[in-house]
Chain A
């Protein structure tokens, strides 16, 4: 069955370190998204991609970067981790080919703690 996975599921790192969160989907979806979720803020969009080599900034992109070298993967990199980036990160994907819905399929999330 097609799915979307994230790794690691939990990560503890130190301030200033570079961290990469992986997202892999087997839906063959063109669109992929990264969100962070914090208490009181709901989900906020970090970056998104509409296809290979395409990346776009979301509402909270500072301190984060993404790259899309293939359809299946959209890794999220924190260039220099800060305590304010402690959060739960969700990756999602969606299909734009004949889809009737704004249906995004979400991964299980990665809980990141920056000490």
Chain B
């Protein structure tokens, strides 16, 4: 499974757009990119997943360049409640191979 690298922490203010970039140079052809969010004292929660170009849902957008060696999670207009750890994961999806490797994640601190 491809190793990912992401910043340890980021700071932001309420109302700003936040972009968290993840590097995955060894991504395989059948790998998808998945992001999870974890609040203190809770288990991680799925946010978004993509394979290439751009994916958007009600929570976030995921941008993946053509070479797929990196990806960017974009959170529009963050609020204090977006303070959490965000994990970038890379691996094949579905079937019997969907165990995921979590790194240390990025701690996003949103200030008023």
Contacts and interface: CB of A to CB of B under 8 A. Distances in A.
Nearest to B100: A102
A100 B99 CA distance: 14
Contact of A102 (B41, B98, B105): B98
A109 B98 CA distance: 21
B99 A40 contact: no
Interface in A40-91: 40-45, 48, 50, 58-59, 90
A107 to B, nearest CB: 6
A62 B67 CA distance: 38
A96 B99 contact: no
A54 B88 CA distance: 28
A105 B76 CA distance: 24
Interface in A7-66: 31, 33, 35, 40-45, 48, 50, 58-59
Contact of A48 (B41, B43, B45, B99): B99
Interface in B77-112: 87, 89, 91, 93-96, 98-105
Nearest to B48: A101
B25 to A, nearest CB: 19
Interface of B: 32, 34, 41-46, 49, 87, 89, 91, 93-96, 98-105
21 contacts: A41-B104, A43-B87, A44-B102, A45-B99, A90-B44, A92-B43, A94-B98, A96-B94, A96-B95, A99-B94, A100-B49, A100-B93, A100-B94, A102-B49, A102-B100, A103-B49, A104-B100, A106-B43, A106-B44, A108-B42, A109-B42
Interface of A: 31, 33, 35, 40-45, 48, 50, 58-59, 90, 92, 94, 96, 99-109
